[in-house]
Structure 1
C-alpha cells in the first residue's frame, strides 16, 4: 500500500499521513489513530528515499510554461493546480523554479529552456505547444523526468502526458456541431496556433468526422489584435453555419462580431471555461465549450512527479483528462 492509498482510505491529505508517519506537526488524536490503524493493517513501511527527501533536501521542479497572461489566463490556471499540489505535498519540500516563455516570440521556448537547464532541478513540467522547438529544447533535460501538460509530442520521452486525447476531443466537438446544426452546409475549423500538435490533432479529429461534408480548415498566426481581427474577418466572410475554434479563443469571435455590429448566424464551439468564454456561453453567443480542466492538469502533473521520484510508484505513460462539455444550462 502507498501513502496515497492510505490518505484516500483515511480521508486526509498526503501531508497529514506523512506527519503521522514521522510524528511531527499538529494532527488530531482521532486522525492519528485512524491513519495508524490503516498503516498497521496494511503492513506499510515508509519509503526511506521519500523520508530523506522530506527531511533533508528540497526537491526542485522546473516549470516551463507560456506566459500566465497568455490565452486569457489559461496557463495561470494550470499554475494554480501546480501550487495546490505543492501545498498538499509540503512535507516533501517541493520547490518550483519557474521560466515562462512567450509562445509568440520565435526561439523564446529554447532560450527559457536553456536558462532553466542551468538551474539544478530534479524534474520538469512543460507544455510542448511549439512542437518543433520543444523537440529540440528537451535535450537539455534528458537526465531528469519531465511531464507534459496540455499537449504531447509523438516522439517525446516524457514520464507522462497530462492532457485530453486531442483527436478524440476533436471528434467530440464534431459530434456536438452536428447536434447543434444538423443541416450545416459550411463548417470552418479554426487553428490559431498552426504549430501546436494538439490543435492539429483536434482539427484532424473534427475534420475526419465530417467525411461527407467539406470542412474548411483555416490556420493562421494571431500574434497581435490586428492579425486576430483580420483572421476572424476572413472567416466570418465565408458565411459559415458553424465555427469550431480549436483553442480557447472563441470569445474573440464574439468580441469581433459585437465590435462590428455583426449578427451571429453561426454555431460557435470552442475550448476552456475562461472568464470571457463563460460569460458569452451564459449569454448564448457561444453554443458550447469543451473544458480541459487546466487546474487538474497542473495538479496531476506534480502528483505524477511525486509518485515517480519520491515514493517510487509506477506512473502511466498517459493521464487522460476527461472531455467535459458545458452548455449555458450547466455552468
Structure 2
C-alpha cells in the first residue's frame, strides 16, 4: 500500500498553509490561483485520492442521481448505454449512490416534456440527460441551473448550457466520416437516399441533424453531383414502411446506396436482403441485429460510439464532481469507430 499523506504533509510539500490545502481538497472558500496550482501539482505527483468511504460515512449523505433516456427493449442501443450506468452504480454502491431511471419515447417529444416537472420536484443531486430534443433539453437545463442541480449530457453536445460534462461522439464529424464511407462506394453522379424515422412533435433529434449536416458537407466538398432523396419512415408501422420502400425503389430504380443516421439500419438491411437487392447501406451502432446485417453484407459499415462507456462515465462524472469535488473535463468526445464485416468480431464494449 502506498504512503498516506496528511494535509500537513501536502501543505509542507506545496509551501502553503494547511488551511489552504483543506479549502482546496474540500472545495470550500477561496484560494489564490498560485496556491491552487502549487497544491494541484503536489496532488498529481503523489497520486492523491481522498478516502472515499471515510468521507462518505462522515457526510452521512445519500446521492440520488436521475438518468433521463429513451425507453428501450433488450439489446437495443439504449440498453447498451444502461449496462454502463448499471456497472457504475454497482461500483459506487458503497458510497451511497443510487440511480433512478426515467424514460421517454424517443419518437414523441411530449413524453420528454412531461418528465421535466417530475425531475424538478425530485430530491436528486444530479441528472444525466439524453439530448434527443434540443429545445426541451435547453429548457430542462435552464431549470436545473436555477435549482443548482448539476447535469451531464449524452448523445449530442448542446452549446450554451452549463453542463458539468458531455460524453458522446462529435456528431458532425461522425456524419462527415459517414459521407466519406458512402462516397467511396459510389460514383460522383449516383443518386442516393437518406432514410429517416418520423418523430411526433419534432422531425429530427439533435444528434441526427448534426450527423446529416456533416454527411452533406462532405459530399459538397467532393463536388458530389447526384441527387439525395429523403425517405420518411414510421417508427411503429413496419407494414407501412415496406409499402413506402417498395414505392420509392419502384420510382427510383437507380438508387442502390444510402444511409440511416441511427441504430435502426438493420430494419433496412433485412428489407433489402429479403428482396435480394444489393444495396450499399451505412448505419450506426453495434447492436446484435446490425451486426447480423454487417456480417451478411446487407450493411457495409457501422459507425459506433461505445454507449456502455458513455453510460459508465456519466455516472462516474457526477460522482467525481459531487463527492470527490474533482474538476471534470466538460467535453469528452468518444472515439468514432468504423466497423466492417472484417473487424466486427474484434470489437468490445471497453468497460
After TM superposition, the score normalised by the length of structure 2 is: 0.75
**Shift of residue 227 of structure 1?**
4.7
Tell me: CA distance 1:64–1:313, structure 2 relative to 1, closer, same or farther (3 Å): same
- Farther off after superposition, 209-218 or 309-318: 209-218
5+ long unaligned stretches in structure 2: 1-42, 345-351
Q: Give the counterpart of 1:223 among 226, 235, 241.
A: 235
Determine the structure 2 residue equivalent to 1:326: 339
- CA RMSD in angstroms comes to 2.7
Tell me: CA distance 1:190–1:60, structure 2 relative to 1, closer, same or farther (3 Å): same
Distance 1:195 1:122 in 2: 30
Instruction: Count how many residue pairs are aligned between Structure 1 and Structure 2.
Output: 290
Residues 185-196 of structure 1: pairs in structure 2 closer than 5 A:
185-192=190-197, 194-196=203-205
Distance 1:79 1:315 in 2: 21
**Shift of residue 55 of structure 1?**
6.1
**SS of the residue 1:277 aligns to:** helix
Q: Give the counterpart of 2:150 among 139, 145, 157.
A: 145
* Pair 1:275 & 2:281 matched: no
Determine the structure 1 residue equivalent to 2:125: 122
Tell me: CA distance 1:160–1:208, structure 2 relative to 1, closer, same or farther (3 Å): same
Q: Give the counterpart of 2:210 among 201, 212, 236.
A: 201
Determine the structure 1 residue equivalent to 2:80: 77
* Pair 1:252 & 2:252 matched: no
**Is the 8 Å Cα contact of residues 195 and 233 (structure 2) preserved in structure 1?**
no
After TM superposition, the score normalised by the length of structure 1 is: 0.79
Greater C-alpha Rg: 2
Determine the structure 1 residue equivalent to 2:11: none
Determine the structure 2 residue equivalent to 1:19: none
**Is the 8 Å Cα contact of residues 114 and 137 (structure 1) preserved in structure 2?**
no
Distance 2:242 2:136 in 1: 27
Distance 1:292 1:178 in 2: 21
**Is the 8 Å Cα contact of residues 188 and 235 (structure 1) preserved in structure 2?**
no
Residues 1-331 of structure 1: pairs in structure 2 closer than 5 A:
42=46, 44=48, 46=50, 51-52=55-56, 56-69=60-73, 73-142=76-145, 143-182=148-187, 185-192=190-197, 194-211=203-220, 212-213=223-224, 214-216=226-228, 218=230, 220=232, 222-225=234-237, 226-233=239-246, 235-237=248-250, 238-239=252-253, 240-258=255-273, 261-331=274-344
